[in-house]
């Protein structure tokens, strides 16, 4: 690898509110010689995830990214050199690879590395078998949706939301999605099989929820937080479950936004529960065959939105916060340089 440069995006300052390209610095660093036990990846695909803005700002379920270090990102890479007998050059793996062309991984960090199952392309590994896991366990374990119940999901045309709604539909619920814009709403109704869709940018969410959920709401899968959550709360049924998956509206907002209607959880005996998908890592094996079966049978549609070029990493991540992505946002940064081993 001597002489080859590793292009990288370093995090150099912490954003307040939304991040900008100025929070990062583009550098070209040498690739260090591999140590015993390490593998060297050529990074191919990056996953763009709303949680990355949290990684820039504060310690959460993982420590914040230290200033001056490569911006953390999940992705898929190809092993191009190995000093670890468990890995061969040519294998495709996923893990925390960062906004860079190459990464050397060894020691404890290898525990977070997963081989791609045979016949699973990187796009599917980073969507259905990644954000799809969040949807699966959020719906089944936290939401515990039952046939005949009414299920509402926000950011419904996004990576997690689109799969969550389709899973609830497969499990027999009436499903209503909330998304931004007529194109996303039409896709939810016509392609993803949702019973109704609400365009929160053009329509009044409260009255439309009353219209589309005449029996009230049993499960709300919340990806957004903020005002939409406040419109859902007055419409929940007794023993409703609110799945606190994400709160993207609050990740960039610097205003204090009180949740006026949360006391309704008391009278309706509702449950609001947060979860982090990493806690389910030991149960991924349960979800994989189920998701794969639904997908292969055409019952689950996985939409991906692909941008290209490592230089576009900050811009591509920003698309999530402007509603520009449609389905799972990915960034392709290279093609495999070696034949792929499966
Ligand atoms: N708990 C966990 O373990 C876990 C794991 C993965 C993801 N998550 C969370 O799940 C949520 C969805 O993540 P994702 O990866 O699937 O992203 P995504 O939904 O594919 O993309 C983000 C979407 O959020 C919507 N959005 C952005 N700003 C908004 C605002 N102010 N108000 C309403 N909607 C807004 C946009 O859709 P519209 O065009 O519809 O506005 C945008 O397309 C995020 O909150 C994320 O943090 C949680």
Closest atom of ligand 1 relative to the 253 alpha carbon: 31
User: How much of the chain is helix, strand and coil, in % rounded to 5?
Assistant: 35, 25, 40
For residue 178 and ligand 1, the question of a CB distance below 6 A is answered with no
Among candidate residues 47, 75, 128, 117, the one with its CA nearest the CA of residue 296: 128
Give the C-alpha separation, 96 to 85, whole Å.
21
pTM of structure: 0.97
CA 225, 286, 326, 295 dihedral sign is negative
Among candidate residues 138, 169, 143, 139, the one with its CA nearest the CA of residue 236: 143
Can you read off the two tokens belonging to residue 131?
Answer: 């954000």
What is the whole-number distance in angstroms between the Cα of residue 248 and the centre of ligand 1?
5
Give the C-alpha separation, 44 to 75, whole Å.
7
pLDDT value of residue 4: 75
For residue 223 and ligand 1, the question of a CB distance below 6 A is answered with yes
Which tens digit of pLDDT belongs to each residue from 283-317?
A: 999 999 999 999 999 999 999 999 999 999 999 99
For residue 180 and ligand 1, the question of a CB distance below 6 A is answered with yes
Which tens digit of pLDDT belongs to each residue from 158-207?
A: 999 999 999 999 999 999 999 999 999 999 999 999 999 999 999 999 99
For residue 138 and ligand 1, the question of a CB distance below 6 A is answered with no
Q: What would the DSSP string read from start to end of 132-183?
A: HHHHHHIIIIII---TT-EEEEESTTBHHHHHHHHHHHHTT-EEEEEESSHH
Which tens digit of pLDDT belongs to each residue from 20-68?
A: 999 999 999 999 899 999 999 999 999 999 999 999 999 999 999 999 9
Helix residue ranges per DSSP H, 203-283? 205-212, 226-232, 248-252, 264-267
Give the C-alpha separation, 152 to 154, whole Å.
7
pLDDT value of residue 256: 74
Does residue 21 contact residue 325 with C-beta atoms inside 8 Å? no
Does residue 75 contact residue 44 with C-beta atoms inside 8 Å? yes
pLDDT value of residue 253: 81
Q: What is the DSSP letter of 16?
A: S
For residue 53 and ligand 1, the question of a CB distance below 6 A is answered with no
CB-based contacts of 59: which residues, under 8 Å, 6+ apart?
A: none
- Residue 290's CB is within 10 A of a number of other CB atoms, namely 15
Q: How many residues does the chain have?
A: 342
Instruction: Report the residue among 158, 257, 331 best suited for mutation to probe ligand 1: largest number of ligand atoms under 8 A from its CB.
Output: 158
Does residue 85 contact residue 106 with C-beta atoms inside 8 Å? no
CB-based contacts of 37: which residues, under 8 Å, 6+ apart?
A: 83, 84, 106, 107
Among candidate residues 139, 121, 130, 106, the one with its CA nearest the CA of residue 32: 106
Instruction: Report the residue among 139, 185, 246, 319 best suited for mutation to probe ligand 1: largest number of ligand atoms under 8 A from its CB.
Output: 246
Give the C-alpha separation, 140 to 136, whole Å.
6
Can you read off the two tokens belonging to residue 179?
Answer: 């998304």
What's the whole-number mean pLDDT along residues 249-254?
86
Task: Label residue 2 by pLDDT band (50, 70, 90).
Answer: low
What is the whole-number distance in angstroms between the Cα of residue 96 and the centre of ligand 1?
20
For residue 275 and ligand 1, the question of a CB distance below 6 A is answered with yes
| H or E element at residue 287 | helix 284-296
For residue 320 and ligand 1, the question of a CB distance below 6 A is answered with yes
Give the C-alpha separation, 291 to 209, whole Å.
29
Does residue 336 contact residue 42 with C-beta atoms inside 8 Å? yes
Closest atom of ligand 1 relative to the 274 alpha carbon: 1
| H or E element at residue 217 | strand 217-222
Phi, psi of 78 (to 5 degrees): -110, 135
Give the C-alpha separation, 307 to 273, whole Å.
33
| H or E element at residue 93 | strand 92-96
For residue 50 and ligand 1, the question of a CB distance below 6 A is answered with yes
Q: What is the DSSP letter of 279?
A: G
């Amino acid at each position: 690898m001597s002489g080859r440069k590793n292009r990288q995006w370093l995090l150099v300052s912490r954003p307040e509110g939304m991040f900008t390209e100025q929070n990062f610095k583009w550098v070209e660093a040498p690739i260090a010689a591999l140590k015993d036990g390490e593998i060297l990846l050529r990074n191919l695909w990056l996953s763009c995830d709303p949680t990355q803005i949290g990684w820039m700002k504060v310690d959460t379920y993982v420590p914040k990214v230290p200033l001056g270090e490569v911006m953390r990102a999940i992705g898929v890479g190809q092993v191009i050199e190995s000093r670890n007998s468990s890995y061969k050059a040519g294998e495709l793996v996923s893990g925390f690879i960062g906004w860079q062309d190459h990464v050397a991984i060894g020691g404890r960090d290898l525990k977070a590395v997963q081989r791609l199952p045979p016949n699973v392309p990187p796009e599917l590994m980073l969507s259905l078998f990644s954000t799809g896991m969040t949807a699966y366990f959020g719906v089944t374990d936290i939401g515990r949706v039952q046939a005949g119940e009414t299920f509402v999901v926000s950011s419904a045309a996004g990576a997690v939301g689109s799969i969550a709604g389709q899973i609830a539909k497969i499990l027999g619920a009436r499903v209503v999605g909330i998304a931004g814009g007529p194109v996303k709403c039409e896709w939810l109704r016509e392609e993803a099989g949702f019973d109704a869709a609400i365009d929160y940018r053009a329509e009044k969410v409260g009255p439309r929820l009353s219209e589309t959920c005449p029996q009230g709401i049993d499960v709300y899968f919340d990806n957004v937080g903020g005002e939409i959550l406040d419109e859902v709360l007055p419409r929940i049924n007794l023993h409703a479950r609110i799945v606190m998956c994400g709160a993207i509206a609050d990740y960039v907002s610097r205003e204090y936004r009180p949740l006026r209607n949360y006391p309704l959880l008391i009278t309706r005996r509702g449950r609001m529960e947060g979860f982090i998908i990493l806690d389910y890592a030991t149960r991924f094996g349960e979800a994989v065959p189920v998701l794969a079966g639904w997908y292969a049978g055409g019952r689950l549609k996985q939409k991906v939105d692909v941008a290209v070029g490592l230089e576009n990493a900050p811009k591509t991540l920003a698309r999530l916060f402007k509603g520009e992505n449609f389905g799972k946002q990915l960034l392709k940064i290279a093609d495999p340089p070696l034949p792929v081993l499966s």
